[in-house]
Amino acid sequence: MSENAVVFKGTKEGLYILIKEDMDLDKIKHNLNDKIKPSKRFFEGAKIVNFKGKKLTKDEFEELKELVENDYGMSVLGDYTEDPDMLSDKEESKEYTQYEKLPYDNVVQDKVLMLRATVRSGQLIEFMGNIVIVGDVNPGAQIKATGSIVVMGTMRGVAHAGSNGDYGTYVAALNLLPAQIRIGDIISRSPDGLGVRASVPEMAVVKKGMIFVEPYLPNR
């Protein structure tokens, strides 16, 4: 079972030794021995970038480094580090990097439900987070999110943003013709009659305790 306590992993930067988190030092040593012994020749002179996976103490690191360098003739290039990144062995899942500080503070990084469909009458889409609908929302349908709602199409149903009481959320749509908009506990309904509205992208926000609908691309 301890077979995979240690894994050699090649990356762009070089070779890493991945150590399983719940292994004690003796097991790791034993495992290293088992792995390297049969093909000692192959490993001789190999350059190890660093250890990864298990969080090592300074002493453990030195001990392993000595073992690898003296017994197996490899060299460890990296130094001891407490960098939490070293805990992660998923090079593939690159974290979101902010190359430049964004000029706005209204950048939201909550959970988002993406839905590519027409939401039809009687359907209720409810989500803890933001909702993005790529499609239309028909009359009689209801979209309920604790965050904001964005409809990449025509919004004709009932939209309820900030259902946990967050007035900072908004409802945006390419064509905003909802029966009702609710933000937090504020409710506003569409005007009566078949009024013709300019079909510019609009968003509904809370201002002074009321829901305002306005174009968010004023120059369109």
Partner 1 sequence: MGEVIVITSGKGGVGKTTTTANIGAGLSLEGKSIVVVDADIGLRNLDVVMGLENRIVYDLVDVVEGVCRLRQALIKDKRYNNLYLLPAAQTKDKNAVSPQQMQELTVELAKEFDYVIVDCPAGIEQGFKNAIAGASKAIVVTTPEVSAVRDADRIIGLLEANGLKNPQLIINRLRVDMVKRGDMMNIDDMIDILAIELIGVVPDDEHIVVSTNRGEPAVSNNESIAGQAYRNIVKRILGEDVPFMDLETDQGFITKLAKMFGFVKKR
Residues near partner 1 (CB under 8 A) are 121-124, 139-140, 142, 158, 179-180, 187, 189-190, 192, 194
Pairing relation of β-strands 158-161 and 142-145?
parallel
The three-state secondary structure class of 84 is: helix
The CB-of-215 to partner 1 minimum distance in angstroms stands at: 21
**Those residues with Cβ within 8 angstroms of residue 216's Cβ, 6 or more apart along the chain or in another chain:** 172, 201, 202, 203
Of 194 and 217, which CB lies nearer to partner 1 in the complex structure? 194
The CB-of-170 to partner 1 minimum distance in angstroms stands at: 19
Of 53 and 178, which CB lies nearer to partner 1 in the complex structure? 178
The CB-of-145 to partner 1 minimum distance in angstroms stands at: 15
Question: Whole-angstrom Cα distance, residue 133 to residue 150?
Answer: 6
Of 29 and 182, which CB lies nearer to partner 1 in the complex structure? 182
Question: Whole-angstrom Cα distance, residue 213 to residue 133?
Answer: 19
The CB-of-148 to partner 1 minimum distance in angstroms stands at: 21
Of 175 and 180, which CB lies nearer to partner 1 in the complex structure? 180
Nearest by Cα to 169 from 130, 127, 218, 216: 130
Helix ranges restricted to H, the chain: 25-36, 40-43, 58-66, 72
Which H or E run contains 48? strand 47-53
The CB-of-23 to partner 1 minimum distance in angstroms stands at: 51
Of 86 and 131, which CB lies nearer to partner 1 in the complex structure? 131
